[in-house]
């Protein structure tokens, strides 16, 4: 279907027709993913609110309005995604709606980026169809990468594939094929191994099966996600859309800070630009004396929110907590080395090959530990463990 | 060395606590020991305070992109202050 659409797209000579074609493809894709009319209207309402908020911000620039809009958008997001913690604040009623939206998590982040950058004067042109095409882009709707509006807007002006020669086109097609292999064969095989190890018919998995599950699930997640990115990045290029790269050998990371610059990079950079940086600069500008210590809080908050964003159930809270702790600990460790041996000592430490190996092995195992809480069914395990702990503590 | 570059060099030396640091318009984070993401933000704050300007989220992000260097930062300051190159 992708190749057929790309072939049809390539013969459209007028930009207007290419834009119409992309918008129609986007609409069809959204409808296939969200077939109920209530879901479609809710999604459109969510998306269009960003456009109208941007229009208001251009007409009457106001940081207060921006903040209120982001709070309202986040509230809508949390309710639509049915976050478990809503039970604590509003009871079951807030979880009782029938709306189920595919693509909402990434739309949410792109929307915040859009309105913030409009408010800061970094986005000046606000074409409605360009905005809708950006938000509902089939190549980034389901699972990212999180593309920035400015880059998409540049591409929207031409929407023509920019392969310099036939060889480059062949490489893109090969990348799509490799992506399919990663998802459908390697990833699928790892999933079968991982779930086979988890779902043993005769009781609790033994230590060997737990070990297999411990390593195979993260490997499955990697190949599944990287393969998906190969397909959408190369596929989007056929339509003249530059989708950013999302992975850089993440399992070679030396610590959790390094890991998050290699894994789901567009998410990391979004977290850096729209959570970590504003939070840190808010504190550092007003209280410079607090800056050095506030960085650990900023790292923790940023990665905790990134973790929680992944899902609505309590296991993702644990995932977020572990990642927050891991990143903050990595920064603390670096500071301890600098305090003991200075910047030159840190350089020697970073260049040491044995230390690089140990750090890499420790990091990959910590990542595998955090991903226990991404596994399907881990929310039930969390509830069981929490109930057992509560009984044990007499709560 | 332009006057702006001199001023920025002084700020960099102050932020990094190293009077030996020498930079040019083509210097990047790799050329200065300790210029990581956090020090980059501290430098941005110091530049904002010194020049009475505010960088946007997109501009701070742009400074850290591959291929960008101190010249990118200087050009942003020039644009905000109306200084010619």
Residue B74 has pLDDT above 50, yes or no: yes
Residue B35 clears pLDDT 90, i.e. is over it:
no
Whether A218 and A325 share a structural domain = no
DSSP assignment of A361-388: HHHHHHHHHHGGGGSTTHHHHHHHHHHH
| Residue A272 and residue A305 in one domain | yes
B61: Cβ–Cβ under 8 A, 6 or more apart, which residues?
A269, A272, A273
Which domains occur in chain B, in start order?
3-81 (1.10.1200.10)
> Which residues in chain B have their CB less than 8 angstroms from residue A285's CB?
45, 48
Is residue A161 in some structural domain? no
List residues of chain A with CB under 8 Å from any CB of chain B.
116-117, 120-122, 148, 150, 269, 272-274, 277-278, 280-281, 284-285, 291, 295, 331, 343-344, 346-347
pTM of this structure: 0.88
Which residue intervals of chain B are DSSP H helices?
Answer: 3-16, 37-51, 57-63, 70-81
Which residues 6+ apart lie within 8 Å of A333 measured at CB?
Answer: A255
The answer to whether B56 contacts A150, with C-beta atoms less than 8 Å apart, is no
The answer on A136 and A46 residing in a single domain is yes
| Alpha-carbon torsion angle A358, A360, A362, A364, nearest 10 | -160
Contact B30, B66 (CB under 8 A): no
Residue A287 and residue A281: Cα distance in Å, rounded? 10
| A172 and A93 assigned to the same domain | no
Residues A143 and A282 in one domain: no
CB contact under 8 A, B59 and A284: no
Asked, for residue A216, whether it belongs to a domain, the answer is: yes
Same domain, A149 and A186: no
Answer whether residue A242 is part of any domain.
no
B79 lies within 8 A of chain A by CB: no
Q: Which of A93, A125, A156 is the last residue of a domain?
A: A156
How many structural domains comprise chain A? 3
A132, A156, A180 - which closes a domain = A156
Q: Is the ipTM beyond the 0.90 threshold?
A: no
Nearest CA among B37, B10, B5 for reference residue B21: B10
B17 CB within 8 Å of a chain A CB: no
36-75 of B, contacting A, C-beta below 8 A: 37-38, 41-42, 44-45, 48, 56-61
A170 and A144, same domain (yes or no): no
User: pLDDT value at position B19?
Assistant: 86
Q: Is the residue at A35 inside a domain?
A: yes
pLDDT tens for the 395 residues of chain A, in order: 777 778 778 878 888 988 998 998 898 888 888 888 888 889 999 999 999 999 999 999 999 999 999 999 999 998 888 887 776 676 666 666 767 788 899 999 999 999 999 999 999 989 999 999 999 999 999 888 999 999 999 999 988 887 888 899 999 999 999 999 999 999 999 988 887 766 555 556 677 778 888 899 999 999 999 999 999 999 999 999 999 999 999 999 999 999 999 999 999 999 999 999 999 999 998 998 888 889 889 988 998 888 888 887 888 888 988 999 999 999 999 989 989 998 888 889 999 999 999 999 999 999 999 998 888 766 555 555 555 555 544 44
Residues B41, A281: C-beta atoms closer than 8 Å: yes
User: Is the Cβ pair A120, B37 closer than 8 Å?
Assistant: no
Closest CA to A302 of A334, A265, A269, A330: A269
Q: Distance of CA A357 to CAs A156, A330, A360, B85, Å?
A: 45, 16, 5, 46
Q: Give me the pLDDT at residue A380, please.
A: 56
Domain of A97, in residue numbers: 2-156
Interface contacts A/B by beta carbons within 8 Å: 44
Residue A245 domain-assigned (yes or no): no
Q: How many Cβ atoms sit within 10 Å of the Cβ of residue A293?
A: 10
Select the more confidently predicted residue: A384 or B47: B47
Claim to verify: residue A137 and residue A173 sit in the same structural domain: no
Number of neighbouring beta carbons within 10 Å of residue A374: 16
CB half-sphere exposure, A202, CA atoms < 13 A: 2
Which residue, A182, A209, A237, sits at the end of a domain? A237
Q: What is the pLDDT of residue A395?
A: 47
Same domain, A8 and A126: yes
Residues A56 and A33 in one domain: yes
Q: Quote the CA–CA distance of A12 and A21 in Å, as a whole number.
A: 9
Return the DSSP state at A245. P
**Quick check: A120 and B45 CB within 8 A?**
no
CB spacing of A273 vs B60 below 8 angstroms:
yes
Same domain, A83 and A186: no
DSSP assignments along A170-227, one per residue: HHHHHHHHHHHHIIIIIIHHHHHHHHHHH--TTSS--HHHHHHHHHHHHHHHHHHHHH
């Amino acid at each position: 279907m992708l190749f057929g659409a790309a072939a049809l797209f390539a013969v459209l000579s007028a930009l207007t027709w290419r834009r119409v074609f992309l918008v129609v493809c986007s609409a069809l894709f959204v409808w296939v993913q969200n077939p109920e009319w209530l879901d479609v209207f809710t999604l459109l309402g969510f998306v269009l609110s960003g456009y109208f908020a941007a229009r208001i911000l251009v007409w009457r620039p106001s940081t207060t309005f921006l903040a209120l809009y982001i709070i309202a958008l986040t509230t809508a997001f949390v309710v639509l995604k049915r976050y478990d913690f809503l039970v604590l604040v509003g009871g079951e009623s807030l979880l009782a709606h029938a709306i189920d939206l595919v693509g909402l998590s990434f739309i949410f982040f792109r929307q915040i980026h859009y309105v913030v950058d409009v408010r800061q004067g970094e986005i000046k042109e606000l074409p409605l169809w360009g905005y809708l095409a950006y938000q509902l882009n089939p190549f980034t709707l389901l699972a990212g990468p999180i593309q920035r509006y400015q880059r998409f807007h540049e591409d929207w002006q031409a929407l023509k594939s920019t392969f310099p020669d036939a060889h480059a086109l062949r490489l893109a097609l090969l990348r799509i094929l490799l992506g399919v292999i990663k998802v459908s064969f390697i990833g699928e095989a790892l999933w079968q191994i991982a779930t086979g190890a988890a779902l043993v018919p005769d009781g609790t998995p033994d230590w060997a099966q737990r070990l297999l599950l411990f390593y195979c699930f993260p490997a499955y997640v990697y190949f599944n996600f990287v393969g998906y990115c190969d397909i959408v990045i190369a596929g989007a290029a056929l339509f003249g859309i530059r989708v950013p790269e999302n992975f850089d050998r993440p399992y070679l990371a030396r610590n959790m800070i390094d890991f998050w610059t290699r894994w789901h990079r567009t998410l990391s950079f979004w977290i850096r630009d729209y959570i970590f940086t504003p939070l840190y600069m808010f504190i550092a500008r007003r209280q410079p004396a607090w800056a050095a210590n506030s960085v650990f809080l900023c790292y923790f908050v940023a990665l905790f929110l990134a973790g929680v964003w992944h899902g609505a159930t309590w296991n993702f809270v644990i995932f977020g907590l572990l990642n927050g702790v891991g990143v903050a600990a990595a920064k603390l460790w670096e500071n301890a080395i600098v305090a003991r041996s200075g910047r030159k000592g840190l350089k020697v430490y970073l260049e040491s090959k044995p230390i690089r190996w140990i750090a890499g092995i420790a990091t990959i195992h910590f990542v595998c530990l955090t991903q226990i809480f991404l596994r399907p069914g881990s929310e039930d395990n969390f509830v069981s463990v929490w109930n057992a702990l509560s009984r044990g503590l007499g709560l | 060395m332009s006057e702006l570059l001199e001023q920025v060099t002084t700020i960099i030396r102050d932020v990094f606590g190293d009077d030996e640091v020498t930079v040019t318009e083509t210097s990047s984070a790799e050329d200065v020991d300790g210029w990581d993401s956090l020090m980059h933000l501290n430098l941005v704050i110091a530049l904002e305070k010194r020049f009475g300007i505010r960088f946007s989220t997109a501009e701070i992000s742009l400074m850290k992109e591959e291929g960008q260097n101190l010249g990118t930062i200087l050009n942003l300051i020039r644009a905000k202050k109306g200084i010619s190159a």
